[in-house]
Structure 1
Amino acid sequence: MSETPFRRIRDLFDQLAELPAAERAGYLAAQADLGEGTRRQIEDLLLADAQLGSATARAAVRPAPSSEAWTGRRIGAFRISRELGRGGMGSVFLAERVDGGVTQQVAIKIVRPEMLDAATLARFRLERQLLALLQHPNIPTMLDLGELDDGSPYAVMEYVDGIPIDRYVREQQLDLKARLRLFLLVCAAVAYAHRNLIVHRDLKPSNVLVDAAGQPQLLDFGIAKPLLAQVGAVDVEETGAAQRFLSLSHAAPEQFSGGPITTACDVYSLGVLLYELLAGTTPFRREALTPAQLEQQTLHVDPAPPSRAAAAADGSGLRIGQDLDLITLRCLRKQPVDRYVSVDQLAEDLQRYLAGHPVLARRGNLAYRLGRFVTRHRTGVTAAAAVLALLLSGALLLWRQQQATARQQLRADEMSGLLMDTLLSVDPDSAGGRDLSAREVFERVAAQAKASPDLSAESRARILGTVAQIDLGLGYPTLAENAVAGLSPQGLEPLQRNELLLLKARTLLAMSRNEESRRLIDQGLAESAGDARRSAVWKLLDASHDYHIGHVPQALQKIDAITPDLLEPAQEDQRRLLRADALRVSYRPEEGIKEIEAVVAAQRARLGADSPAVFQSLQKLAIREADAGDLERGETLFKDVLALAEKSFSRTSARYAEALSVGVSIETRRRNFAKATEYLQQIIPILIDQVGEVHPRVAYQYLNLASIYEESGQLPKAGEYYAKGAAVAERVWLGDDTNLLLFRVAAASHFALVDDCARALEQTTRGVQANLTYPELLQSDGAPLMEVLHAYCGYRLKPDPAGRSTLARGLKRAQEAAQDASVKQAVAQVVRQAAALGVQPAE
């Protein structure tokens, strides 16, 4: 008996059992390490397996007719000449037309009778349906289909008299360029199938025959998968899920692991085929591995470059350069997202190689290797990698969806290279052993994009625009404005130009630079007039601008005029939330609450219950319920918001501070000022730590705390925080900003109330000067209130006839101009205080 280990015998038996009987002897003879006794032992096992199989399960079904039994049989207009081969589902026969006076050879594929179960029939019918859809010079044409008397389905196809592509290139001794041009024809056929929403899933040399004209023909769509739910009457999921069909040496990793079957599977298999044409061998040699070992290597081991494999095997004798190595290995990456985006992109890269131009695979290789580095050092760079992954995925996804030319694909890789260069700088070793914050990562990305001299205008705009969008979403409009300040839309593609203008307009509006935003909005509306979808987005921003400057009825009218179907789901959410705000200001709070509830339901269904978008909408809903007087409902929602903030973020995050602000609103309405103050004393330190003190959100929380202290009778404390809020506002907003006017008015009103007119005049003097410098401020409700407070404090400190007359006229104008309820209340307070001095509004 041989001393060959049992495991070796078992593995060889497993491999041989999978092979057709005609191939087993050759495969066994190639195993040089086997003794004669071991060979006989394996042959006996195979014979016993065949005998056992026929004695059990196989005896229960009808035996398959021999090839001789089919010879001479007529099917439709054709007579079978001989068997061409057998596969997993059936046999393929060569046949000739016997009627019509036309000489024609065809291939007829028939499902084996013993395979007539529902799943196999469904798969074969699917294959016939697929072939009927495909009309391409490198895909054999479907000529006829039907069923035999015993119910066996068949398909008549154009016959390809050819040899497998790997054998063809060897026998014809094709040079490197000829092999690549032949392979590009295969790519064209596969890309055509993909455009018809079909994935082949079994690309290998035996399924790519080269005919006498030197044209490759793509065969056997027997395990193909449509990317649609159904093809004709065939349900794809039922036919595709029941069995796991794959060719071990050419299958993509996700086909082993049960991942989604996409066009990336064919990109991988094409990579294996290209590897064979270049190196004369597969990336992982099947004959040297058991099926289990082959699966493990496919899933976890990076193959050697084809140039190295060719040198080791002394196979093709071709001089394979680094560019071809990189192109091939990019196809063979483990994760689908790391491969070429499409077969078309693979073909374009090969064409660039043939033309002597730089290839995408070379530029993208750094990003891939760096991604592997991040995987190996996950602890040190997790936060930074996650941030950059968000940036990169958003930027490249949009870019690839919107752009299709080779030059634009180079721009996409240009962006990935810069982002990955930045990721290198986030290595803990280069950061003093500490983790960088998300803001520091953003700043590094933006700085590198601005400083890189070789970066194209398109790539620079895409990267800085992405950083600005995230800054804006996180509540940092100043940082967003800084990121895009130097970018010009001139020279950009129309779609990217539109995106940049939109981003700049939104940023300016978030900073309350309303006139600058207005100019960009008018420009965007004019430029998008011929595109209904782009125009709808600009109209939404136009309505938002009107709302922010206090033109609420006009804003509501514009919101209702937008067709929702023209907006993306997130944009429609924005439209409904803006409408809810406008309805609240228009004293229609119940309608506004319904809008927010609809948004929350839509976001939960689309994004999941724990998404940041749901958090923000739920927060708004809780506040609106409290505003409407339903404090119990508001309290319930507040608990949900707080739990979501703690679960999804942390107790030290700005989002948690936002959640606590809901509690401030509810407790203030309950007049539980102690609890509201407690919440605010938690909120303010969190915000200062996260965004710094000079920030709009900090200013507004100072204002909230001041008003609560004032309402609870703690007037010195109220004055302290009114002053703090105004001081921060002076540093946050420009002089023409209505937000700054609000803070000045609030502080002046308080100081006038407590008879501290000297401090009130400090605010009103600056406010009145701003009104003179920026006349547009006079359109605000707060401007007349600022004027009358200035007149009141001036007269209070220096009572004279001129001051008395100025105050009387100011009281009248303020009463007439006040629209907002809070402004009316403040004006009424000044009127009462002036009456105590004996001054009434002018007649």
Structure 2
Amino acid sequence: MAPERIAGRIGGVADAVPGGPGGSARPLHTRPVSWRGGFGRVYRATQASPVRRELAIKLLKPGMDSEAVLRRFDAERQALARLNHPAVARIHDAGTTPGGRPYFAMELVDGVPITAECDRLKLPVAARLELFRAVCLGVQHAHQKGVVHRDLKPSNVLVTTVDGKPQPKIIDFGIAKALDEPLTSDGAITLARQVIGTPRYMSPEQAEVGNADVDSRSDVYSLGVLLYELLTGTTPLTDADLPGSDWTGLAERLRHTVFPPPSSRLRGAARARAEQIAERRGTTAERLRRAISGDLDCIALRALEPDPSRRYPTAFALARDVERSLAHETIDARPPDRLYRAQKFVRRNRVSVGVACVIALSVLAVAGTEFRTLRRVQAEGRATRAALAEAQAVTDFLAQTFTSIDAEGAGAELRLADVLRQASSQLDRGDAFGASVSLAAQARLHGVLGISYWELGDWRSAEHHLRRSASIAEQLGRELTPLQLQTMMNLASLVYERGDPSAALRLMREAEPGFRRVFGPESDRTLGFLGNLALMTGAAGEPERALDIERRVLSARERVDGPDAARTIGAMHNLAVRLDAAGRHDEARELLLEAVARAERALAPESPERVLVVGELGSLELVRDPASAKHLLRQTLASREATLGPEHPRSLHTAYNLALAHYRLGEHAEAAGLLARVLACVPGRLPHEHPVSLGAMNMLGVVGMHAGWALLGEATAERLVATVRDAPLHALAPSHRNDLALVLCTVEPARLRDMDLAELLLVALVSDAEAHADPDLYFFLDSLGQLRHAQARYAEAITAYQRAINLTPPERPDHRREIEAHLALTLAAHRVNPIDANAEPE
């Protein structure tokens, strides 16, 4: 769209601001300048039509009109225009003046910085947290749209009054990212055209010169600084901590400085200053310290973790912990010390009989198992006495638990999942422990609950308990016990299932020496551990090493357990998976056929190992023999649904593979039905970024495009688009972003399409691929051509297809034929309707 049209829609902006025709310096209706700085100036203006409203016109300073800036500016404004949240100031329009200077036309926010307004109103801590939570949700909304702020601070979070209540509004969302140019103003800094932000609110990775790996977690860090300031009246990094004019050491300082908890910062303040801070929060200094100490200390410090992987993963997770703190519930950031458990016990209800029984039986079972293991593998009397003491503590706990059961309160029969959920809540609150129960027993319980949740397919709860168990084990500071080693392996398996094989492999390698030392080199546990280690090693990009581990495991299994043992058949499955991943498909198939033959001879039909090898053979046959694959996968799905339930992640994975078999056989209706079942479990049972979730979203789009969207039904199409929009698109691999963009621009009915988001994704993919000489550029150009065709911008579509054909590798003639077919469709459409939607009207 031409800049003149954009300016005209705003109502004379281009003529009224500096740099417009005549170079006048007259703001619309002459208002005082409300802000100036490194970006330029902000003018207060009134839009006359089509809707009369007050606007803030942000005109960028001269010199920010290079071709590169304007390209980024145009791409970013498309993302910003999609933000629609009560806590985010809307951007109504954007463009360039006839003089070439970019501008934003934003919602005018007559507000005060959040810290100043909270102090003026003397808001107590709880009210400040409610405002802060609203800010977090606004930031999360933007992150879901692929926009990162990168300069969150009080002056960019204004508070207005709506219906008599304070309402936060985040301004300047994405402007720094849109420009990415050298800036200087009021602490906003740029180094080597790559560092943008305000030092006191900046994450370590953002402060690092030349670091392009700044994502939404950087905003989470800035939110942590803002929370710290709302609580204490000061930022973690004070002005005295900042370097002079040399910013090169800022990232290192932020990475290695240990900030005091907010309550400690208050405790260290001068008495008069502490009372002044407390008075602005409607309380006394001592009461303020007590209110902040504990949960809020932990929440703030977790958000301020120097390592992004240890922070809250999203702004929503930070908001949820704030919400839990306000409701006196367990927070994720808080370690389970006894005082914390006691405090939560006072605030919460007593344990029900179902919860008590689950915990009691879990403790009894695992305590007995570990005690026997410790007696066998530990020769020293000190270790034995410690195990006896822990067993006695568990016995005392069981006696106390069973004598305190409220039989009448047990109520109706509980499902296992319900009981586990209550047990988890009870354990996190600490109500289930007496003073005599050791940290080791606590680690056991968290480990048992983690494994139980994992088997039920609730990975989020499983990870929570497994990480708690590992954290407590680390606190013990002693040689790893069998349970701790098992917990480390289970946690690694869970991290792998969630799609991070490199992180999983790090955990496994940390545990490997302990497994060999404690259990022996060829024990059942060690061989099981090595099988998982090989799986993760291969997924992390070390295929030959993975194959070597799998062969050694299979050889040991056949020697120790026998050729037809269930564990040996499981080892054959694992080796076949590795062979297939290495491209040695025939060897993998022969090994799986042998494994299935052994399983059918020696194992019951419902045996997990038999189900496993039959399902893997079915997956392997998808390309070679989809009819055979369908038969095998149906068996596997029936077995898994009978034992695990239809919504378990393993059942959903099998359902997805069965859908692929149906699709390859041309049975599109059956494929669509299975894929819709998988989609219905996202994100409840599978996270958006799980490979099965992404595969289901993509394949539904493929079925819709090839067999007709009517086959899916409008309800499934609506759910598909909603799920794609909610996915963390900015964090996905380029191929996944490409696939989901195609869904957004081709879905039927057409009213469901989101062309803006599809364009944002595909233009960025093509631009990045061009910049890095990515061999997949042809693939993204083909998708961009399909988008342009859907937009009736046929000339651009034809150009994109022609470029894609020229770049298609010679070894992919199938891709070339597909792109040529797309080009033929567009040429035909262009002949029928030669008017291009992107052409300027005369």
TM-score, with normalisation over the residues of structure 1?
0.42
Higher RCO (CA 8 Å, separation ≥ 6 residues): 2
Radius of gyration: which is bigger? Answer: 1
Scaled by the length of structure 2, what TM-score is found? 0.42
